[in-house]
């Protein structure tokens, strides 16, 4: 006779197994509300199975609640393809359940209550993020929840799970023990740069295979159409894995319509594969084969694309009163031919291109965007609006601003007689654009938006036409968010993979150093607030403006640089 079971509501802390033997320690810097973060930027490492927590299998005469609780906790043990977690499943389900399909990152305790059907359990958690089978993380706003129904049946007098959605649940406090971010590399539209795309994978042996499969699948949704991939659609691994032996990764591909003499295509594929894998601590060399043989990469002087970062000049542009000046090493210098271009126009937030020949700024107390060049120093009005963000100049020669009512505009700095054009971004939905900075590869926009009650830090892919003209911004990737006393402020790139953003409270400002995966560490607190952030090349060139004083990050403090120069910015 089939036995039925009725359930009462419980809140089960997944940090402990049903035996009480496993305490899942976590990083205290990961909050229990809001998006998922970690304190330190990732470092290259070789997965170490010894760091994985031990998990317990089922015991005799467990109740259905205990079986579900044990299964959820065992989902954090990745050894032998989640062998312990499969012990809680029926034989048929154990063969088909896919733990890699989806990961739900949650905070707090899991709620277990009676489901709508007989012998069914409903599990509910406070969701912080999801990670799909290609490592794409989607952070959730505070208040998001996830529910799943679990069905149980008796097998030889013991309760076992007969139906459960694919995937695992991971406490946010334990995320950094089980998963690590890895940058996949795609090709910039200019054909010269590579663009990183952060993904999250279980920190275990064989991660090289997961990484390459994700790379072959293409960029994350927020980068679609903004970057290219050298791999033709349908490209797959020719074997079951990407083995790594004695520091060498062997990548063998099955490429549709493969041409062995396409050296450029081979080099681009090799660039993506090698840059992606060489970040792993156990990979020193990469061999690429396709079509049954080693890929021809051409002559030695035809090297693959370089991983070297796109840098900007160490010289900043700024304002001394209403005159434009350069600032470098504590010394100022007038900007030749254009130093007086903005005199008498109440200027702020000047910007320049990497060649320091094209310039932009806001005038009329921030309501009007103007552009000018060293050859034509007279400022030309390009757009007028309310609450404009500081201009950003991209490598294609376009000047970008956002508005307080959720618009994005871009002006061709080389065509002075035209107005700034609308860049489609319907997902802004009227939210104010507080900061907008284009990455140095020109493929991504770093954006801070606010609706008055909350603010978000976002990264969006830039869609352009064949001439490089901006067309739209993709639905973005959420990096961070804040509410109330944790509103987000200005942001600035310091490399292709890192940026600085500010978290604003009533008592001051807490700048943070982020990597693009969303990890961050706190920089020294600024008691009197931050009105401007400037980022150069790496951590040694981070400046903030606070209390009418320009300050430079030096170790664990902010060193005063000038009380005369304001609104500084590096190129970009």
Show the domain range for 476. Answer: 316-569
331-334 and 557-562: which strand pairing?
A: unpaired
- Asked if residues 568 and 532 have their Cβ atoms less than 8 Å apart, the reply is yes
- Asked if residues 377 and 337 have their Cβ atoms less than 8 Å apart, the reply is yes
Give yes or no for residue 47 having a pLDDT over 60.
Answer: no
Strand partners, 480: 457
CA-CA distance, 131 to 409, in Å (whole number)? 33
- Asked if residues 242 and 251 have their Cβ atoms less than 8 Å apart, the reply is yes
- For residue 352, which of 560, 536, 83 has the smallest C-alpha distance? 536
How many other C-beta atoms are found inside a 10 Å radius of the C-beta of residue 21?
A: 10
CA-CA distance, 386 to 404, in Å (whole number)? 6
565-569 and 454-464: which strand pairing?
A: unpaired
Residue 305 lies in a domain: no
Compute the mean pLDDT over every residue in the chain, rounded to the nearest whole number: 88
Q: Name every residue whose Cβ is closer than 8 Å to that of residue 43 and which is 6 or more positions away in sequence.
A: none
Ramachandran quadrant class, 191 (left: phi over 0; alpha: psi -120 to 50; beta: rest): left
**Tens digits of residue pLDDT in 5-25:** 433 333 334 432 222 222 222
Residues 262 and 324 in one domain: no
Residues 166 and 214 in one domain: no
Residue 183 lies in a domain: yes
CA-CA distance, 199 to 194, in Å (whole number)? 16
CA-CA distance, 468 to 397, in Å (whole number)? 9
Residues 363 and 480 in one domain: yes
CA-CA distance, 71 to 366, in Å (whole number)? 57
Which is more confident, 63 or 304? 63
Ramachandran quadrant class, 192 (left: phi over 0; alpha: psi -120 to 50; beta: rest): alpha
Residues 402 and 514 in one domain: yes
Both tokens of residue 111? 């709620």
Mean pLDDT across 237-259: 95
**Tens digits of residue pLDDT in 100-147:** 999 999 998 888 887 778 889 999 999 999 999 999 999 988 788 999
Q: What is the pLDDT of residue 48?
A: 46
Both tokens of residue 445? 């926009």
The sheet carrying 227-228 orders its strands as 194-202, 179-188, 227-228
| Separation of CA 102 from chain center | 18
CA distances from 453 to 126, 433, 489, 502 (A): 21, 14, 13, 16
Three-state SS sequence of 83-149: HHHHCCECHHHHHHCCCCCEEEEEEEEEEEEECCCCCEEEEEEEEEEEEECCCCEEECCCCCEEEEE
Q: Name every residue whose Cβ is closer than 8 Å to that of residue 234 and which is 6 or more positions away in sequence.
A: 256
Number of structural domains found in the chain: 3
Q: Name every residue whose Cβ is closer than 8 Å to that of residue 522 and which is 6 or more positions away in sequence.
A: 39, 510, 511, 512
Both tokens of residue 134? 């290609």
Q: What is the pLDDT of residue 376?
A: 94
Residues 269 and 363 in one domain: no
Q: Considering only 169-183, 291-305, 430-444, which range has the smallest mean pLDDT?
A: 291-305
Residues 240 and 383 in one domain: no
Give yes or no for residue 96 having a pLDDT over 70.
Answer: yes
Both tokens of residue 8? 């009462």
Helix, strand, or coil (residue 9): coil
Burial class (CB in 10 A: 0-12, 13-18, 19+), 160: buried
Helix, strand, or coil (residue 235): coil
**Tens digits of residue pLDDT in 163-222:** 999 999 999 998 988 999 999 999 999 988 999 999 999 988 889 999 999 999 999 999
Domain end (from 128, 148, 177): 177
CA-CA distance, 352 to 342, in Å (whole number)? 14
Helix, strand, or coil (residue 178): helix
- For residue 182, which of 209, 155, 152 has the smallest C-alpha distance? 209
Residues 158 and 198 in one domain: no
Q: Name every residue whose Cβ is closer than 8 Å to that of residue 555 and which is 6 or more positions away in sequence.
A: none
Domain end (from 177, 204, 236): 177
CA-CA distance, 421 to 427, in Å (whole number)? 18
285-290 and 248-254: which strand pairing?
A: parallel
Mean pLDDT across 335-363: 96
Residue 117 lies in a domain: yes
* CB environment 356-393: b (16+ within 10 A), e (fewer): bebbbbbbeebebbbbbbbeebebbebbebeebbbbbb
Q: What is the pLDDT of residue 40?
A: 38
Residues 338 and 220 in one domain: no
Prediction pTM value: 0.89
Residue 307 lies in a domain: no
Residues 166 and 233 in one domain: no
Residue 1 lies in a domain: no
User: Which band of pLDDT confidence, cut at 50, 70 and 90, is reported for residue 504?
Assistant: confident
DSSP state of 554: E
Residue 300 lies in a domain: no
Q: What is the pLDDT of residue 8?
A: 33
Which is more confident, 158 or 304? 158
- For residue 520, which of 529, 511, 530 has the smallest C-alpha distance? 511
**Tens digits of residue pLDDT in 385-406:** 999 999 999 999 999 999 999 9
Residues 144 and 220 in one domain: no
Residue 410 lies in a domain: yes
CA distances from 527 to 90, 508, 534 (A): 58, 4, 18
Residues 229 and 203 in one domain: yes
Q: What is the pLDDT of residue 6?
A: 36
Give yes or no for residue 438 having a pLDDT over 60.
Answer: yes
Q: What is the DSSP string of 13-52?
A: -TTB-TTS--B----TTS-SSSS---SS--------GGGS
Question: The domain that contains 530 carries what CATH number?
Answer: 2.120.10.30
Which is more confident, 484 or 179? 179
How many other C-beta atoms are found inside a 10 Å radius of the C-beta of residue 120?
A: 17
| Separation of CA 514 from chain center | 9
Which is more confident, 54 or 221? 221
Sign of CA dihedral 303, 308, 309, 312: negative
Residue 2 lies in a domain: no
Residues 155 and 184 in one domain: no
Domain end (from 154, 177, 200): 177
Mean pLDDT across 522-531: 92
- For residue 34, which of 408, 520, 425 has the smallest C-alpha distance? 520
């Amino acid at each position: 006779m089939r036995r039925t079971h009725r359930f009462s509501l419980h809140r089960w802390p997944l940090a402990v197994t049903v035996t009480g033997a496993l305490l899942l320690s976590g990083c205290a810097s990961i909050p229990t509300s809001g998006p998922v973060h970690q304190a330190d930027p990732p470092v290259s490492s070789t997965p170490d199975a010894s760091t994985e927590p031990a998990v317990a299998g089922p015991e005799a005469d467990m109740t259905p609640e205990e079986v579900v609780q044990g299964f959820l906790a065992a989902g954090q043990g990745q050894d032998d393809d989640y062998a312990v977690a499969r012990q809680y499943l029926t034989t048929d389900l154990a063969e088909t359940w896919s733990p890699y399909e989806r990961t739900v990152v949650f905070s707090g305790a899991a709620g277990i209550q009676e489901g709508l059907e007989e012998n069914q359990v409903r599990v509910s958690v406070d969701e912080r993020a999801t990670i799909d089978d290609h490592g794409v993380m989607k952070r959730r706003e505070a208040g998001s929840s996830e529910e799943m129904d679990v069905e149980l049946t008796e097998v030889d007098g013991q309760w076992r799970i007969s139906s459960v959605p694919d995937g695992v649940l991971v406490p946010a406090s334990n995320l950094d023990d089980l998963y690590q971010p890895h940058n996949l590399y795609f090709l910039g539209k200019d054909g010269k740069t590579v663009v990183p795309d952060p993904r999250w994978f279980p920190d275990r042996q064989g991660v090289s295979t997961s990484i390459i499969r994700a790379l072959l699948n293409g960029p994350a949704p927020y980068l679609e159409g903004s970057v290219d991939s050298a791999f033709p659609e349908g490209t797959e691994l020719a074997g079951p894995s990407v083995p790594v032996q004695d520091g060498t990764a062997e990548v063998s591909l099955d490429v549709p319509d493969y041409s062995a003499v396409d050296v450029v295509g081979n080099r681009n594929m090799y660039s993506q594969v090698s840059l992606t894998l060489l970040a792993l601590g156990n990979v020193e060399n990469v061999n690429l084969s396709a079509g049954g043989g080693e890929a021809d990469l051409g002559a030695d002087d035809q090297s693959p694309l370089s991983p070297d970062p796109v840098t900007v000049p160490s010289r900043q542009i700024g304002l001394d009163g209403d005159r434009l000046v350069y600032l470098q090493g504590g010394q100022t210098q007038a900007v030749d031919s254009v130093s007086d271009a903005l005199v008498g126009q109440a200027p702020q937030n000047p910007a320049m291109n990497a060649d320091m020949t094209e310039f932009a700024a806001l005038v009329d107390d921030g309501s009007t965007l103007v552009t000018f060049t060293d050859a034509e120093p007279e400022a030309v009005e390009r757009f007028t609006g309310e609450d404009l963000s500081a201009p950003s100049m991209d490598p294609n020669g376009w000047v970008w601003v956002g508005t307080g009512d959720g618009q994005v505009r871009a002006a061709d700095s080389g065509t002075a007689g035209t107005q700034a054009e609308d860049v489609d971004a319907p997902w802004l939905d009227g939210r104010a654009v507080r900061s907008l900075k284009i990455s140095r590869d020109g493929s991504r926009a770093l954006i801070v938006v606010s609706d008055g009650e909350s603010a978000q830090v976002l990264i969006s892919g830039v869609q352009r036409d064949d001439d490089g003209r901006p067309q739209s911004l993709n639905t973005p990737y959420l990096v961070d968010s804040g509410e109330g006393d944790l509103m987000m402020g200005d942001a600035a790139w310091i490399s292709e993979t890192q940026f600085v953003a500010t978290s604003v409270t009533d008592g001051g400002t807490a700048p943070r150093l982020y990597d693009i995966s969303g990890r961050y560490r706190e920089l020294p607190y600024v008691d009197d607030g931050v009105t401007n952030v400037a980022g150069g090349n790496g951590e040694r060139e981070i400046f903030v403006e606070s209390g009418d004083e320009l300050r430079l990050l030096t170790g664990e403090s902010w060193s005063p640089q000038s009380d005369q120069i304001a609104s500084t910015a590096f190129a970009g």
